[in-house]
Amino acid sequence: MDLFGIGPALSFANSVGPIAKVTRCRAVNPAMAAIRVTLNVERKTRVYQKLLDKLTDINRWYRSHGFDLPLYSSGVRYCGEPKGCEIWQSVPILFLNGLGDCEDLAPARASEIKGARAVIKKVGARPNGARLFHITTRLPNGTTEDPSKRLGMRG
């Protein structure tokens, strides 16, 4: 039995190979155990898409083990991260923190709906040439939903 939810993270780390380092962060309540995955990845759309798919899989695992509160009624709100910081939160941590941005919210929403997927799209570039991305949820019928906008993102 996987009391600390490390199973999905280890599976994730094994799937992405040597670029991942997984550590277990125990919480007072084992149901709220956090998994920290540190990645050094290329800034390529296909790499990020694979990571989004894995985070959605992890969220589906958590939902099958009791974290089945619907995102839109959870009280979670959109909050952008500080410049240069990207923290990808699984459902338990997202619900605990109550705040997330697009790479947290779209996989959380996709994990609720069979056949849905968090998808990445390029939305622009910074003056230094760094690409800007936004993550939305593609529903099984092909339409796109934007959990970030629904939960408070402006623009």
What is the reported pLDDT for 15? 54
In the chain, helix, strand, coil percent, each to 5? 40, 25, 40
Question: Of 8 and 83, which is predicted with more confidence?
Answer: 83
DSSP letter, residue 113: S
Which pTM was predicted? 0.75
List the Cα angle 84/27/21 in 5-degree steps. Answer: 45
What digits encode the pLDDT tens for the residues 34-60? 455 555 555 677 888 988 999 999 999
When pLDDT is cut at 50, 70 and 90, the band that residue 23 belongs to is: very low
What digits encode the pLDDT tens for the residues 101-127? 999 999 999 999 999 999 998 777 778
When pLDDT is cut at 50, 70 and 90, the band that residue 87 belongs to is: confident
Percent of the chain with pLDDT over 70: 71
Mean pLDDT score across all residues of the chain: 78
* Helical spans, DSSP H, in the chain: 6-16, 45-64, 91-97, 102-110, 147-150
